[in-house]
């Protein structure tokens, strides 16, 4: 069962940035804010400094797939924004997964 929708609008991202709590590691920054619904909403932000569109979309797919694997371990009712840092340009599937798991533990989710 899918528990997660996407954050798409700029004002939704800005609200999570302003009101949410953030933690970071060397590859990712995660902002979390409660949304008072039964579903999580996930937004991914990747700067053009990370690389061309092929590299950015590859990272986006890696993050979404890793999040899909661990989405049941996240409590419901959260807005989550993941910002990709430039140094994550060449990381693989396992590194993305461990970075997401590390941030989940930092947020105590």
Which class is domain 4-106? Answer: alpha beta
Band of residue 2 on the pLDDT scale cut at 50, 70, 90: low
Q: Which sequence spans correspond to the domains of the chain?
A: 4-106
User: For the segment 19-54, what is each residue's pLDDT rounded down to a tens digit?
Assistant: 999 999 999 999 999 998 889 999 999 999 999 999
Give the pTM: 0.90
pLDDT of 18 above 90: yes
DSSP output for 27-91: SEEEEEEE-SSSSEEEEEEE-GGG-SHHHHHHHHHHHHHHHHHHGGGSPSSEEEEEEE-GGGTT-
């Amino acid at each position: 069962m899918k528990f997660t929708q996407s954050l798409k609008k700029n004002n939704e991202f800005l609200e999570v940035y302003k009101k949410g709590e953030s933690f970071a590691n060397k590859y990712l920054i995660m902002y979390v804010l409660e949304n008072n619904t039964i579903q999580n909403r996930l937004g991914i932000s990747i700067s053009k400094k990370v690389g061309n569109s092929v590299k950015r979309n590859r990272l986006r797919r890696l993050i979404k797939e890793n999040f899909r694997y661990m989405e049941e371990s996240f409590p419901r009712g959260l807005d989550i924004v993941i910002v990709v840092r430039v140094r994550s340009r060449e990381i693989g599937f396992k590194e993305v997964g461990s970075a997401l798991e590390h941030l989940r533990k930092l947020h105590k989710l």
